[in-house]
Structure 1
Amino acid sequence: MDPVPCQKVVYLDRLKTRFNLEMNDIVHEKDLLEMVFQNISRFPNLRSFSAQQVSLTGAHFDSLSGLKYLTEMHLERCQCTGELGLARFQLKFLSLHGKMTGTHGWWIPILKSPSIQQLSYDAVCGPVEDPELFLPVLSTGPHMQFLRTLRIPSFAVFFPCFALALSRCPLLENLHLVIPDLSAPTTLLPTPDSYPLLSPGSLSNLRAISAPFGFLEHCILKRDSGVRLTHITISDMLRYPDGILGLVKDTCPDLEELGLSMHQFPLDSYPHTFWLQAIFNAFPKLRGLHIAYDSMRFPYEHLQKFLKAVTYPATLRSLYIVAFYAQGVSEPSPVPRRMPELVQHIKDYASSIAEIEITLDKSISWKDMYIRCSKWYKWDPYGSRTPLL
């Protein structure tokens, strides 16, 4: 049988159903997994492989090593044991997610691939306070010299080797600090003294960041940092935006994309339009604004007045607003999920905006909301990539 051209294959639990449509003898997950790897040589042009919640052995990785174009791998909650031979892979894109089981630290050799350009990691095996083995690996050796995008849990910044790890990534352009589950216990309470000391100029190539404001304030948005960001997402807007905007404006005058996730920000305590108009006034080159907030703190009726009263800049191309219901709060009266009339009204007064999304979503979680607020993020760790600029 002739080889089949293929760019990407994904092995996920849900694919079991798809295979069953054509092959009724495939009953067990193990059978399906073996069938995938037995036939993987038929895809000589394979560039990406993903696996979720499966057990992998050295034999499986032996099959993948024969694919000379394989440059992308995504592993989530996988169990791996034995000699895997991961050091032989020359990957450009790697993501490790969820709790990894099996041989302790089995994924370390693959992290040392000198060709990695985009890395996403939250494969924490222990409690949230445990730095695991990731940061020490990242902070030693020259193997991260080509890294351009890094996605890691936000608590990683409180470990001593974090600053050293970043100093090993001279080409880093995108830094995404992921907020962990808010309900998870942690003893890592941020204080000004607990943030890392980044050497001036160590992140001179950084252009986009998604992070808690404390990290931005103490480490990034400083006059001597040498950082000139064009894309920022602030993940924990707990204070009035006026002071925050001033800090961002002073250090990032060319800001093009701004994301604000307002999980606990009391929007109802301030004038409806003041702070939004302040954003537009502060950043004349702004092309995209992405806001997510707790709808219980700012009702739909206020949102209408809020968006109709401001003057939109001519440079604005995208506007995304996602309202969610805080977990543990009883659901309010039904509201429309989409507001086409409001969207049309904005388009009438701001013809430059090409993309508008205004959504009230009662099912979205705070963590999902934060991800949607970071729409500038260059690399989706589950496989799709879109240009940053």
Structure 2
Amino acid sequence: MLSPGLLSPPLTGGPRSPSLKSPLSPGFSRMINRARSLTSLGSKRSSRRSEANAILNSVPPELWLKVFMNIPLHLLPAVTLTCRSFHALSQPLLFSTVSTHPPALPSLALRGAQTSKYRKRILERLEFFFSPRICPSVVECAISPLAPEEDGAPTDDLIDTIFASLSRLPNLKVLSCRYVRLTPKRLAVLQNLQLTTISLEMCFGEIADFADAPSVPLQTVTFKYPDAIRRDKVNPCLLFLSPTHLEQLHATTTSILPTLARSQPFRKLQTLDIPIECITSDIFIQALSRCPAVDHLSLHTSGSVPRSLLESLPEGVLPNLTSYRGPHHYAAVFLRNRYAKRVEISVPSRPHRLGASLPAIDRTLLSLSFRLEGVELPASLLTTIHASFPKLKSLTVGEPALSSADINGVLNASPRHVSLEEITIHIQGRDKFNLWIPPDEAAADAISCFKKTLPALLATYPGLRSVRFMHGSEGASVKWRRSSSGLFVQSAA
């Protein structure tokens, strides 16, 4: 009879080691059993993947292209790495916007061999962008040499080559040019392209070049020129403003006014964005009278606001205007005694001056956006807004940044406004101490502020449907929408 010490231990469910008589440790046994189950499951998953791949392969490429076109550009590189098929389909979409001239290294003057290398890089880019596989995807092209072409010198043959190649981009709709001389040869190319949008910055030509050339049929035009232009420089505004096609005009120069004033009426022009200095011109009203369809006027400024004797628009001028963006000084000039849809005060204002100018705007105003100087939002200003615009649906307070206590204090001291449905407020976070706050923590602070202020928000605005809190200096925000149950649910900002 064998002694108990020589008996083998009872068998367990775990596998035995091939080189040992004793069973493996329980932990190692569990690991092997888990591996076996994963192997079994892996074979099942492999078969499922094969079935899924068969389904994917049966989807027409045209359908995948439609899907990829709706994916944000910054996410497309990940799609190109998914599989070979997706790489071939989605890679060209990465080049919907191209620039013919690569940026040069800062503080590096291009001379001699460096210039040759730079031009070689441009040619390599052109060869790729205009290749048969990529060119159908190009929608927007920028031509921006590092320096303007010199007056009196021969034109850059490389830029001539670029212009001559633009016709090989069948879907090109947007063209941006900077420091490019507009010669008759290049203008002829533009006439034959199916462009909808063009942006010209410091692009000049000779008077004879524009004498008899017909206007290019464009929907959106942007002119970036200074007001101080030498006499031998010709602003080509007239050539690119088609009265029968133009829908949006953005300009940084007052020299646009004579062109508008002399032209036929722009019956499709809806957005007019011009510098505030235009308001002091003697032909300002005459130019506006040529734009009967404009419904949005933007007067941008980078400095002081000029004075003007204009108190209101003459009857019949801008009859469809409903939206204004610019300094508060002239909001009432354009939207007095007419239906007002939206006002955006683009220049930070002093609270008492803004409060004095707002009541002159028509009471039908639906949307108001402004920024204030200082660190407070006075309850008196909010009271004025509530009383002046009973139909207001949307309110945005871009500055100052307010704490939850500030928001509650202002709302508790203001009368109710039953029509407001959307409100946007810049809240004060820990970044006020010049600290960098991780985005997740900043968003958590915004959520905490929302919980503290929601009762006061609903007490003042019982019809509120949407709340958006901006935070930080980078324009991040958190948004909540009211669900059908009446509760506010966080949504994508």
Match of residue 275, structure 1, among 375, 381, 386: 381
Larger radius of gyration: 2
Structure number with higher helix proportion: 2
Judged with a 3 Å threshold, the aligned counterparts in structure 2 of structure 1 residues 44 and 136 are, in CA distance, closer, same or farther, namely same
User: Could you say what the CA RMSD is over the residues aligned between the two structures, in angstroms?
Assistant: 4.0
Aligned pairs (5 A) from 1:25-174: 33-67=159-193, 69-81=194-206, 83=209, 87-99=214-226, 103-122=233-252, 124=253, 131-132=254-255, 134-174=256-296
Identical-residue share of aligned pairs (%)? 19
1:238 to 2:350 alignment: yes
Between 72-81 and 146-155, report the one with greater CA deviation.
72-81
Q: SS of the counterpart of 1:39?
A: helix
Q: Are the equivalent residues in 2 in contact too, given 1:347–1:353 (CA < 8 A)?
A: no
Aligned partners of 1:25, 1:207: CA distance in 2, in Å? Answer: 45
Matched residues, number? 318
- Structure 2 partner of 1:261: 371
1:318: how far off?
5.3
Distance in 1 between the 2:205 and 2:248 partners?
A: 22
Q: Distance in 2 between matches of 1:73 and 1:25?
A: 20
Gap runs ≥5 in structure 2: 1-91, 106-117, 128-144, 147-155, 458-463, 476-493
Q: Is the 8 A contact 1:5 1:43 kept in 2?
A: no
Moved more, 283-292 or 92-101: 283-292
Q: Whole-Å Cα distance in 2 between the matches of residues 97 and 291 of structure 1? A: 30
Matched, 1:222 2:336: yes
Report if aligned partners of 1:96, 1:120 keep a CA contact under 8 Å in 2. Answer: yes
Tell me the distance in 2 between the aligned counterparts of 1:343 and 1:280. 25
TM-aligned CA distance change 1:6 to 1:25, over 3 Å: closer
CA contact (8 A) 1:5 1:44 kept: no
TM-score normalised by structure 2 residue count? 0.54
1:352 and 2:458 are equivalent in the alignment: no
Q: Which amino acid aligns with 1:288?
A: S
Residue 210 of structure 1 aligns to a residue whose secondary structure is strand
The separation in 1 between residues aligned to 2:100 and 2:274, in whole angstroms, is 23
TM-score, normalization by structure 1: 0.67
Separation of aligned partners in 2, 1:157 and 1:345: 45
Check whether the contact 2:265–2:292 (CA below 8 A) recurs between aligned residues.
Answer: no
In the other structure, the counterpart of 1:377 is none
Aligned partners of 1:196 and 1:8: how far apart in 2? Answer: 46
Task: Give the distance between the partners of 1:322 and 1:73, measured in 2 at CA.
Answer: 38
Per-residue CA distance 1:59-113 (angstroms, 9 max, x = gap): 222222222x212111122243461575241111111013377632333332354
Of stretches 151-160 and 71-80 in structure 1, the one that deviates more from structure 2 is 71-80
Q: Given that residues 157 and 196 in structure 1 are in contact (C-alpha distance below 8 angstroms), is that contact kept between their aligned partners in structure 2?
A: no
When residues 50 and 305 of structure 1 are mapped into structure 2, their CA distance, relative to the original with a 3 A threshold, is same
**2:307 — aligned with what?**
190
Tell me: CA distance 1:137–1:175, structure 2 relative to 1, closer, same or farther (3 Å): same
Taking a change above 3 Å as real, the CA distance of residues 197 and 316 of structure 1, as seen in their structure-2 partners, is closer
Gaps of 5+ in 1: 125-130, 183-187, 324-330, 365-389
Structure 1 residue 43: Cα displacement: 1.3
For the residues of structure 2 that align with 1:110 and 1:25, how far apart are their CA atoms? 26
Deviation at 1:115, TM superposition (A): 1.7
